[in-house]
Structure 1
Amino acid sequence: MADSTEETEAQPRRTPAEWRADIVGLVAGLVRWVGLLIALILVVHVVLVMGNANTGNGITSFFRSWAEPLSLAFRDLFTPDDQKLKVLVNYGLAAVFWLVVSTVVAKLIRRLA
């Protein structure tokens, strides 16, 4: 039976470059997931508006309160007369923006590190 020192010596030590690669991968993945979560919040808000969800409902107001600041300048980019179309286009564009930006930033993080 081998003692514990022999078992740890048999395992190769991780180099700083390997640790850095793992941390960079974690940060890039985190950026990607945050972008995906923001896009999901925006899409759920669009679905609730398009489906005529009760504006007094807690779920609807929760998603609206998060979607408004996350839509950035897209909130009033287009101003059609139909309020549903306005939400669909503007918040939909904001969701696409967050997906694209988070993907690009994650790739840049991986390449620069």
Structure 2
Amino acid sequence: MYILLLVLDADQTNRYFQFIKSLAEPLALFFPGLFKTGNADLDVVLNYGLAAIFWLVVSGFVARLVAR
């Protein structure tokens, strides 16, 4: 959700945006700032998208462990 809000130029002073940002930043771990392409939108998609993929893989792994 944070990726969409940033790429679609949502109002960053909005409370909803701030709430989503406060959830997204700690979950992104060390991924923000990992790639710097010079294009802010592409940076957001790469960095936060990579964090989202990381959490999908981790949660899938944990789900398989729990299912055993």
Q: Tell me how far apart the structure 1 counterparts of residues 40 and 19 of structure 2 sit (CA, whole Å).
A: 19
Identity over the aligned pairs, expressed in percent? 46
- Partner in structure 2 of residue 75 of structure 1: 32
- Partner in structure 2 of residue 63 of structure 1: 20
Runs of 4+ in 1 over 4 A off after TM superposition: none
Unaligned runs of 5+ in 1: 1-43
Q: Tell me how far apart the structure 2 counterparts of residues 78 and 61 of structure 1 sit (CA, whole Å).
A: 23
Q: TM-score, normalised to structure 2's length?
A: 0.91
User: RMSD of aligned C-alpha atoms?
Assistant: 0.9
Q: Secondary structure at the match of 1:55?
A: coil
Structure 2 residue 51 is the aligned partner of structure 1 residue 94: yes
Larger radius of gyration between Structure 1 and Structure 2? 1
Q: Secondary structure at the match of 1:76?
A: coil
Q: Tell me how far apart the structure 1 counterparts of residues 26 and 13 of structure 2 sit (CA, whole Å).
A: 19
- Once the two structures are TM-superposed, the CA of residue 109 in structure 1 deviates from its matched residue by 2.1
Q: Tell me how far apart the structure 1 counterparts of residues 44 and 22 of structure 2 sit (CA, whole Å).
A: 14
Q: TM-score, normalised to structure 1's length?
A: 0.57
Structure 2 residue 25 is the aligned partner of structure 1 residue 50: no
1:9-57 CA distance string (max 9 Å, x none)? xxxxxxxxxxxxxxxxxxxxxxxxxxxxxxxxxxx00000010000101
Aligned residue pair count = 68
1:61-91 CA distance string (max 9 Å, x none)? 1111111110001111111211111111100
Q: Secondary structure at the match of 2:58?
A: helix
Higher relative contact order (CA closer than 8 Å, sequence separation 6+): 1
